[in-house]
A and B are shown apart, each in its own frame.
Chain A
Amino acid sequence: MAPRSIWNGTITFGLVNLPIKLYSATESKTVHFNEVHAKDGARIQHRRICPKEGKAVSYDEVVKGYEVSDDRYVVLDKDEIKAAAGDRGKVIHLTEFVNAAEIDPVFYEKTYFVGSRDHEDVYRLVHEALERTGQAGIGRFTFHDREYLVAVRALDDVIALHTLRFHDEVVSGDELEIDGGSRRPSKREIEMAGRLIETLAEDFSPESYEDSYREAVLDLIERKAKGEEIDLSEQEEPEQGDDLAAALQASLGGKG
């Protein structure tokens, strides 16, 4: 089944225009529960209540307010919020390119797959150019009246669009004020830790990491549905030692 697109527009690459559709590239598989009333198992509804009148309010009686000071709001209507979206509409201009490997992972936010909106050959051209150079095109993308900074790059056989965090949204290490302590780790400790990394090195294969917690929750639900008794005993946490060199040596199997 063809996936449902969530946006359509045009990517420009200079004077080359690429009509596109966007698709979600990820989906959360976290086990989702509904809220129910414990007494009768009936579904809980969330209602909007005006605390002044103590009555339910329908959505068309609701406006958006920005709190400028305690309990003082500037009220904006939908069109006014739209004004902040800018004039780019459904066009993403890729005006510059950067080495995709240089973008620190901390900037990546959400990923979408870019699909071709027609059968023009431009899609493959842009894909191959990005793939061959390893570059990501940087542009701006307007979605639901909000503008995002995006990186557009080749990912396997498709083009991917990543929304990026802005630099001031990323916390820098300097802000953490980490105490360096008075004693540096010794050369021997660093050398042993380096060897420990080597022993743990492997190729990344995402399939070998299952969401075991999700499976455990789903299993719990099935056991519960069958009327099984659930063992509620507490789990124990491991203890920890404090001799750094001895712990490293023991981790390496005593061959320090």
Chain B
Amino acid sequence: MPRSLWRGSLSFGLVNVPVQLVSAARDLDYHFNELHDKDKARIEQRRFCSEEDVEVMWEEVARSFDLDGQQVIVTDEELASVEPRKTRTIDIEAFVDLADVDPIYFDHPYFLVPAGDSEGTLRAYRLLVETMGDAEQVALGRFVMRTKEYLTALRVRDGALTLTTMRFHDEVRPTKPIPTGGKKPGKKELDRAVAVVEELTTEWEPERYEDCYRERLRRVIESKQKRRKIEVPEPEKQPKPAPDLMAALERTLANARAGRDVRSEPDGDLEELSRDELEERAKDAGVRGRTKMSKDELVEALSDR
């Protein structure tokens, strides 16, 4: 189980459930350290006083706020004094429809798991899971972690209570200044665009998407370790806007319906492809017996689709 980050109780009405918080997201990125090029020693970040030019230990560091030019030093004790009264409790304040909370508000996901294995705790936890499990609602509450108060959304995922920290309304920027282009689309264009979206609609299956960046970085590190040459790929050029929007939509829709790459230009395509390319397409299209087909047979099988 992931490491516990916080312990406290979840309070629902007068029911209190002892819980601990664990992260629901893990960091799988490759991380790099800074090294001194000359001797490959690992760089250390140290604190220096800008006035005296001497190293300063953490115990000698204070926290200061710039209030219109005035430096105001605030101590840990003073900060603790304004912490909300309940630093060990998550209070459920309200239930709202999940569909009404835009994903823009969601920040970091966590799980809440029962703290301890007392029968009372496990049963109260299960009561919340069962009651909230089929609701299309999320509970909103607040909690304090590492001296900061968060607004959170609680719901059930995978049979466990999950808590997601949320952004406050004034941390979401207004959309008004965002440039949104020209005229409203005509009915014909919009119908075609909607048809393209519908044609390309698929189930959300997160397992189908791998982190290719992580994999490429792994290979780069491996190549470097084996002293192989590392090629930097040429980035794709940005395509220009289509001169004829309606024609572009029609072609896209035809491609989508035919199961072709949506960006392929339809003129004279199949005949001009190599046998290997045709077989590749036949594989994507699920053509049976493709490995034994001649080039002409592949063209025929594919043009039927």
A129/B25 contact (C-beta < 8 A), A52-B41, A166-B209 known = no
Tell me, yes or no, whether B221 is within 8 Å of chain A by CB. Answer: yes
Using Cβ atoms and an 8 Å threshold, which residues of chain A touch B177? 1-3
Give the CA-CA distance A98 to B42 in the complex, in Å. 45
Using Cβ atoms and an 8 Å threshold, which residues of chain A touch B197? 97, 129-130, 133, 135, 137
* B159 shortest CB reach to chain A, Å: 5
Using Cβ atoms and an 8 Å threshold, which residues of chain B touch A117? 179
Tell me, yes or no, whether B289 is within 8 Å of chain A by CB. Answer: no
Q: Is the beta-carbon distance between B33 and A15 smaller than 8 angstroms?
A: no
Tell me, yes or no, whether B119 is within 8 Å of chain A by CB. Answer: yes
From 46 to 75 in chain A, residues with beta carbon under 8 angstroms from any chain B beta carbon are 46-53, 57, 61-68, 71, 73-75
Tell me, yes or no, whether A6 is within 8 Å of chain B by CB. Answer: no
Q: Is the beta-carbon distance between B85 and A236 smaller than 8 angstroms?
A: yes
Give the nearest-CB partner of A43 in chain B.
B50
Using Cβ atoms and an 8 Å threshold, which residues of chain A touch B98? 105
Contact code string A74-87 (vs B, CB < 8 Å = 1, else 0):
11100111111111
Q: Is the beta-carbon distance between B37 and A167 smaller than 8 angstroms?
A: no
- Of listed B60, B190, B193, B232, residue having the most chain A CB within 10 A: B193
Contacting residue for B124 out of A66, A121, A164, A244, CB 8 A: A244
Give the CA-CA distance A15 to B175 in the complex, in Å. 27
Q: Is the beta-carbon distance between A185 and B79 smaller than 8 angstroms?
A: no
Q: Is the beta-carbon distance between B45 and A135 smaller than 8 angstroms?
A: no
Q: Is the beta-carbon distance between B169 and A206 smaller than 8 angstroms?
A: yes
* A10 shortest CB reach to chain B, Å: 5
A45/B204 contact (C-beta < 8 A), A25-B104, A106-B157, A155-B175 known = no
Using Cβ atoms and an 8 Å threshold, which residues of chain A touch B103? 103, 105, 108, 111, 162
From 94 to 124 in chain B, residues with beta carbon under 8 angstroms from any chain A beta carbon are 94-106, 109, 111, 113-114, 117, 119-120, 122-124
Q: Is the beta-carbon distance between A124 and B230 smaller than 8 angstroms?
A: no
In terms of DSSP, what is the predominant structure of the interface of chain B?
mixed
A217/B216 contact (C-beta < 8 A), A10-B239, A64-B34, A225-B67 known = no
Contact code string A15-49 (vs B, CB < 8 Å = 1, else 0):
11111010111111111111111111111111111
From 1 to 20 in chain B, residues with beta carbon under 8 angstroms from any chain A beta carbon are 1-2, 9, 11-16, 18
Using Cβ atoms and an 8 Å threshold, which residues of chain B touch A15? 242, 248-249, 251-252, 255, 262-263, 265
Give the nearest-CB partner of B84 in chain A.
A213
Q: Is the beta-carbon distance between A118 and B126 smaller than 8 angstroms?
A: no
Give the CA-CA distance A103 to B197 in the complex, in Å. 17
Q: Is the beta-carbon distance between A25 and B109 smaller than 8 angstroms?
A: no
Give the CA-CA distance A99 to B168 in the complex, in Å. 26
Q: Is the beta-carbon distance between B179 and A125 smaller than 8 angstroms?
A: no
Using Cβ atoms and an 8 Å threshold, which residues of chain A touch B78? 220, 224, 230, 232
* B183 shortest CB reach to chain A, Å: 5
Q: Is the beta-carbon distance between B239 and A64 smaller than 8 angstroms?
A: no
Q: Is the beta-carbon distance between A76 and B81 smaller than 8 angstroms?
A: no
Q: Is the beta-carbon distance between A169 and B26 smaller than 8 angstroms?
A: yes
A80/B230 contact (C-beta < 8 A), A40-B52, A124-B182, A146-B213 known = yes
Sample of 4 more A-B contacts, CB < 8 Å, known A37-B51, A43-B50, A120-B241: A37-B50, A86-B233, A96-B202, A201-B96
Pairs A–B under 8 Å by Cβ, sample size 16: A15-B251, A38-B73, A39-B60, A42-B52, A86-B213, A102-B203, A115-B180, A125-B245, A162-B104, A166-B211, A171-B23, A173-B159, A183-B119, A197-B139, A225-B67, A232-B80
